[in-house]
Amino acid sequence: MNILVIGATGGSGRAVCDALLERGHRVTAVARRATSLGPKPGLDRVDGDATDRATLDRILPGHDAVVVTLGISEPVLRVRLRGAKGTPGDVRSRATDQLIRAARDAGVRRVVVQSSYGVGTTRDRLGFVDRVLFALLIKPQIFDSELQEMLLRGSDLDWTIVQPVYLTDGESTERFVSTDGRTRARKVARRGVAEVHADLVEQRDMIGETVSVSG
């Protein structure tokens, strides 16, 4: 399959690219500095702005599915106090809005989007400490993720939302997946979440569902 990965240079995006390549898929990695990724067989790197409709219109045709792993990679506290320097604060919702329109026109229906546990359908499952941390540290990002999910749910695409708990950079592929908000641990490795993305792309499973992923 030909898979487009948006937000490919972040930790999650890199893990998704690797997981898909290891399964023999061809991957188009899109990010503002996608060419910073090391060259690999089957990987096409495209420097571009995912919030720009013209960029998406140029890249999307010919792909079988899209995986979105957008986010702000700058330190959380600095972003909260001073705002993000390199990435728009609403990058998730802006890019997803443009993607929905572009994908519809390009005839690409399958879209898997990474959000965060504690957004949308899992909002009420957060414990007190997590609610406080969300409010104090990442309230703007959570608002943007809420809007991103709302846009996706209102679309006619074959979407699935992936909500991992706290992410780590470990190499474990162990993961517990549920569609009812249940989790098994507070943390999960990006590598394990990437395998969930790859499963969803290949199996075209859980369409219209929110998938919680924990370790």
Q: For the segment 112-169, what is each residue's pLDDT rounded down to a tens digit?
A: 999 999 999 999 998 888 887 777 667 788 889 999 999 999 999 999 999 999 999 9
Residue type, 46: V
Burial of 136 (C-beta count, 10 Å sphere; 0-12/13-18/19+): exposed
Give yes or no for a contact between 113 and 159, defined as CB atoms under 8 angstroms apart: yes
Written out in words, the top-level CATH class of the domain with range 2-214 is: alpha beta
Is residue 31 within a helix (H) or strand (E), and if so which, with residue range? strand 26-31
Give yes or no for a contact between 99 and 111, defined as CB atoms under 8 angstroms apart: yes
What 8-state DSSP symbol labels residue 75? Answer: -
pTM (two decimals): 0.92
pLDDT above 90 coverage of the chain, percent: 80
Residue with the bigger pLDDT between 84 and 90: it is 90
Range 69-96 average pLDDT? 69
pLDDT of 101 strictly over 90: yes
pLDDT of 5 strictly over 90: yes
What pairs with residue 176 in β-bridges?
214
Give yes or no for a contact between 60 and 106, defined as CB atoms under 8 angstroms apart: yes
C-alpha span between 143 and 92 (Å, rounded): 10
C-alpha span between 84 and 66 (Å, rounded): 25
**Per-residue pLDDT at 81:** 47
**Per-residue pLDDT at 79:** 44
CA 21, chain centre distance (Å): 17
Work out the pLDDT band at 84, boundaries 50, 70, 90.
low
Q: For the segment 28-46, what is each residue's pLDDT rounded down to a tens digit?
A: 999 999 999 999 999 999 9
